[in-house]
């Protein structure tokens, strides 16, 4: 199997607008490859097939379905070391994200897209060290 030359971020977000924004920021600001989906089952297949270096999961109010990805990754020794960052709305889902095993929480909307790029960069850098 050929190794990847660039790091890969997986964005798991049901809102296509946020998913597209995250993809654009990560690709343009960091030059990092991005895979994205709004489907939990597809996200889990992508993790197994592509082994991302970081996973961003969207959490929207009571709909915490994407947190299933974090729970499953952290429960599996083969993927437990992959950093997972939750994208939450202010005051919604922060506690649930941390309980699900997310390594960090980033509050949206992203008034400053540099915050998103900085958080992704930080986790990718830490993973390499």
Q: Give the domain ranges of the chain.
A: 8-128
Residue 68 burial (10 A CB sphere; 0-12, 13-18, 19+) = middle
Model confidence, pTM: 0.90
Residues ≥6 apart with Cβ < 8 Å to 129: none
pLDDT at 89 over 90: no
Strands 104-108 and 54-59: unpaired
Separation CA 61–CA 58 (nearest Å): 10
State the average pLDDT for the chain. Answer: 87
Q: Give the rounded percent of residues in the chain with a pLDDT score beyond 70.
A: 88
Q: pLDDT (tens digit, 9 = 90+) per residue, 42-69?
A: 999 999 999 999 999 998 766 667 889 9
pLDDT band of residue 1 (cuts 50, 70, 90) is very low
CATH code reported for the domain at 8-128 = 3.40.50.2300
Each residue's pLDDT tens digit, 18-50 = 899 999 999 999 999 999 999 999 999 999 999
Most confident of 4-8, 50-54, 110-114, 118-122: 50-54
Q: How far is CA 15 from CA 57, 77, 98, in A?
A: 11, 29, 21
Sheet hosting strand 104-108, strand order edge to edge: 33-37, 8-12, 54-59, 84-89, 104-108
| Nearest-angstrom CA–CA distance, 90 and 26 | 21
Q: Is the peptide bond before 64 cis (omega within 30 degrees of 0)?
A: no
């Amino acid at each position: 199997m050929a190794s990847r030359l660039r790091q890969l971020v997986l964005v798991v977000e049901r809102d296509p607008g946020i998913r597209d924004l995250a993809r654009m920021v990560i690709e343009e600001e960091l030059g990092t490859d991005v895979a994205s989906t709004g489907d939990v089952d597809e996200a889990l297949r992508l993790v197994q097939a592509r082994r991302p270096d970081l996973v961003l999961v969207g959490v929207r109010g009571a709909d915490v379905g994407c947190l299933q990805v974090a729970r499953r990754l952290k429960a599996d020794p083969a993927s437990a070391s992959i950093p997972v960052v939750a994208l939450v709305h202010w005051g919604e889902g922060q506690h649930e994200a941390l309980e699900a095993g997310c390594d960090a929480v980033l509050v949206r909307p992203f008034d400053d897209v540099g915050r998103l790029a900085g958080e992704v960069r930080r986790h990718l850098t830490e993973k390499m060290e």
